[in-house]
């Protein structure tokens, strides 16, 4: 498994508990519009991602992330940093 | 019609729906007359005030009022100027001296509101490549201070020491860090584990700012707040406070022992680019702060009130924000906004004013009836308040 595929699988596994509508999650899935997450859900989810990968995603960085694919890429960069 | 206001449509709709049921607007109350720190006339009816943050009841203190009147006569109605130009009078220096004495700290800087104190200090102290690590449930003024500045913002789960420590450890060791905490969180009235949080922050090389707006005057041996009560005030770099709660007027401040603190007066935009407080306001604040140094009896009575109301509301079957009373704020959790608003109105009809708090101000989407006690509430008033809660709670079905 490539690094990105591994990160992708782990991110999507963490999305699932909050995927209330049970939609199919792809790289294009948007957190606000498609998953319909409110700010509190986002906070919980981000905390889980941070703990899973031992990183910090600042609110400034979060503002740039709209889709699952963008998050996977951002996590990849933060892990490498 | 679609224009820049279209983004407010969902809120306008929610509000119209709520008011169409005939409900009194919870955000449009007018105090027609204020009789004392605990009683006002609203809609022509005598109303007990249980949502004012006027914790120590200083608003009608005769010495405080006399000081304000004297300053009004002597120095006029306003300064019409910035603190760094024509807006620093002897009264502004005097209130800063009172704060230094109250907190036993080297420096004090007075802002025109508490909101501006957070806005100014946070946005100025933390620069572009610095990190601000803050509790998720922080007050709007803290978030707005972050938004005004350029720092990287890292939130952590409310009052979670482990979550704070983990994030501090993940940040670059060499980066500047400011940890922002509150002594009392005003929505649920819970206090922070400052002892542990300040320790992990210091261990990570971070500076620490604590907002003690809701603790001044009655928490800690000298009323300096939760940091004093938990024995860590000497490790706190900045304490932010307000004159609009226990002090009983309006204004905000920061106290600190930092040797370079005074430079902030020149670089802090929310301090520089606004008019200073009117002379009468700083005179009332200085008098009030000095009186709060000797407020032990009042402080004890406030705690009695808080404990009594908390225990009795719990016994009536209400769900409260904390298991034990931790401050002078008691948050009664409502099942939803509709019943919260109905209960708020029923209490008002009984003759009791509390704060209706709703998302986004509240954590976890809760609707709260927030009660803040005053040292001037008499034991009889507390009994009256409980009777009103019982009657309104049963009528609205919030309690069985």
Q: Which of B245, B298, B301, B377 is catalytic?
A: B245
Give the homologous superfamily in CATH for domain A3-80: ACP-like (1.10.1200.10)
* A67 contacts A27 by C-beta, under 8 angstroms: yes
pTM for this entry: 0.95
* Secondary structure element (H or E) that encloses residue B152, with its range: strand B152-156
For residue B269, the distance in angstroms to the closest alpha carbon of chain A comes to 22
pLDDT tens track for A18-40: 999 899 999 999 999 999 998 88
Say if residue B284's pLDDT is above 80: yes
Query: What is the helix (H) or strand (E) element at residue B164, kind and residue range?
Result: helix B161-170
pLDDT at residue B147, as a whole number? 96
- Percent of chain B predicted with pLDDT > 90: 92
Yes or no, beta carbons of A59 and B167 under 8 Å apart:
no
- What angle is formed at CA B27 by the lines to CA B26 and CA B28, rounded to 5 degrees? 95
**CB-CB under 8 Å, A38 with B155:** no
Domain ranges of chain A: 3-80
Contact B107, B238 (CB under 8 A): no
B157 reaches A (C-beta below 8 A): yes
B320, B304 contact by CB (below 8 A): no
Whether residue B364 lies within 8 A of chain A, CB to CB, comes out as yes
Q: Between residues 252 and 281 of chain B, which touch chain A (CB distance below 8 Å)?
A: none
| Inter-residue contact B109 to B265 (CB < 8 Å) | yes
pLDDT band at A60 (very low <50, low <70, confident <90, very high): very high
**How far B26 CA sits from the closest chain A CA (Å)?**
25
From the list A38, A54, A59, which residue is nearest B155 (CB)? A59
**Residue B376 above 70 pLDDT?**
yes
At B19 the pLDDT is 87
The answer on pLDDT for A81 being more than 80 is no
CATH architecture of the domain with residue range B25-56+295-396: Alpha-Beta Complex (3.90)
CB contact under 8 A, B360 and A39: yes
- Chain A residue numbers with beta carbons less than 8 Å from the beta carbon of B136 are 43
Question: Which of B305, B291, B394 minimizes the C-alpha distance to B342?
Answer: B394
Q: Is the pLDDT of residue B25 over 90?
A: no
pLDDT score for B360: 78
Handedness of CA B165, B171, B172, B177 (dihedral sign): negative
Task: Look at residue A1 in the predicted model and tell me its pLDDT.
Answer: 64
CATH class of the structural domain B61-292: alpha beta
CA–CA min distance B136, chain A (Å)? 8
Tokens of A38: 């409110």
B363: pLDDT confidence band, cut at 50, 70 and 90? confident
Q: What percent of chain B has pLDDT over 70?
A: 100
**Radius of gyration for the alpha carbons in chain A, expressed in angstroms and rounded:** 12
By C-alpha distance, which of B128, A46, A43, B167 is closest to B180?
B167
Tell if the CB–CB gap between A60 and B153 is shorter than 8 Å.
yes
The two three-digit tokens of residue B384, written as one number: 């009256």
Is residue B290's pLDDT more than 80? yes
Residue B214 is among the residues annotated as catalytic for this protein: yes
How close does chain B come to A24, measured CA to CA in Å?
27
Structure tokens at B324: 């034990």
**Among partner residues B131, B136, B170, which is closest to A43 by beta-carbon distance?**
B136
Q: Which two tokens stand for residue B296?
A: 């032990």
Pairing between β-strand B177-182 and β-strand B207-211 as defined by DSSP bridges: parallel
Give the pLDDT band (50/70/90) at residue B201.
very high
Residue B319 has pLDDT above 80, yes or no: yes
CB contact under 8 A, A59 and B157: no
Would the CB atoms of B131 and A58 count as touching at under 8 Å?
A: yes
Of the candidates B271, B276, B199, the residue with the CA atom closest to the CA atom of residue B231 = B199
Domain ranges for chain B: 25-56+295-396, 61-292
pLDDT in tens, B113-156: 999 999 999 999 999 999 999 999 999 999 999 999 999 999 99
Q: Summarize the confidence of residues B60-85 as an average pLDDT.
A: 98
Q: What is the pLDDT of residues B144-170, one digit of tens each?
A: 999 999 999 999 999 999 999 999 999
Residue B89 in this model has a pLDDT that exceeds 90: yes
Q: What is the mean pLDDT of chain B?
A: 96
Split at pLDDT 50, 70, 90, the class of B173 is very high
Q: Is 80 exceeded by the pLDDT of residue A80?
A: yes
């Amino acid at each position: 498994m490539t690094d990105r595929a591994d990160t992708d699988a782990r991110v999507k596994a963490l999305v699932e508990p909050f995927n209330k509508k049970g939609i199919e999650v792809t790289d294009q899935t948007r957190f606000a519009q498609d998953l319909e997450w409110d700010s509190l859900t986002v906070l919980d989810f981000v905390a889980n991602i941070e703990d899973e990968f031992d990183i910090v995603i600042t609110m400034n960085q979060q503002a740039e992330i709209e889709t699952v694919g963008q998050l996977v890429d951002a996590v990849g960069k933060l892990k490498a940093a | 019609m679609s224009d820049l206001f279209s983004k407010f449509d969902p809120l306008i709709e929610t509000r119209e729906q709520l008011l169409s049921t005939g409900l009194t607007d919870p955000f449009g109350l007018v105090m027609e007359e204020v009789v004392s720190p605990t009683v006002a006339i609203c809609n022509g009816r005598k109303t007990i005030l249980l949502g004012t943050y006027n914790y120590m009841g200083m608003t009608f203190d005769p010495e405080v009022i006399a000081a304000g009147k004297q300053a009004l006569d002597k120095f006029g109605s306003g300064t019409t100027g910035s603190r760094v130009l024509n807006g620093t009078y002897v009264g502004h220096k005097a209130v800063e001296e009172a704060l230094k004495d109250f907190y036993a700290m080297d420096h004090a800087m007075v802002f025109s509101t508490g909101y501006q104190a957070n806005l100014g200090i946070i946005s100025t102290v933390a620069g572009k490549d610095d990190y601000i690590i803050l509790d998720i449930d922080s007050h709007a003024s803290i978030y707005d201070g972050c938004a005004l500045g350029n720092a990287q913002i890292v939130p952590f789960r409310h009052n979670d020491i482990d979550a704070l420590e983990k994030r501090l450890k993940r940040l670059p060791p060499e980066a500047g860090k400011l940890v922002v905490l509150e002594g009392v969180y005003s929505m649920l009235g819970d206090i922070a584990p400052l002892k542990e949080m300040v320790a992990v922050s210091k261990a990570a090389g971070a500076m620490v700012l604590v907002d003690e707006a809701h603790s001044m005057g009655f928490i800690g041996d000298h009323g300096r707040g939760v940091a004093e009560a938990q024995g860590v005030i000497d490790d706190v770099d900045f304490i932010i406070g307000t004159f609009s709660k226990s002090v009983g007027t309006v204004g905000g401040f920061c106290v600190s022992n930092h040797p370079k603190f005074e430079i902030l007066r020149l670089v802090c935009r929310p301090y520089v680019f606004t008019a200073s407080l009117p002379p009468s306001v700083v005179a009332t604040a200085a008098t009030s702060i000095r009186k709060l140094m000797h407020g032990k009896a009042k402080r004890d009575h406030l705690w009695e009130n808080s404990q009594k109301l908390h225990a009795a509301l719990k016994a009536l079957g209400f769900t409260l924000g904390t298991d034990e009373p931790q401050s002078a704020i008691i948050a009664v959790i409502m099942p939803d906004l509709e019943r919260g608003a109905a209960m708020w109105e029923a209490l008002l009809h009984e003759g009791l004013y509390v704060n209706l708090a709703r998302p986004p101000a509240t954590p976890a989407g809760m609707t709260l009836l927030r009660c803040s006690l005053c040292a001037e509430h008499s034991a009889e008033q507390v009994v009256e308040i409980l009777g009103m809660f019982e009657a309104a709670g049963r009528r609205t079905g919030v309690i069985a």
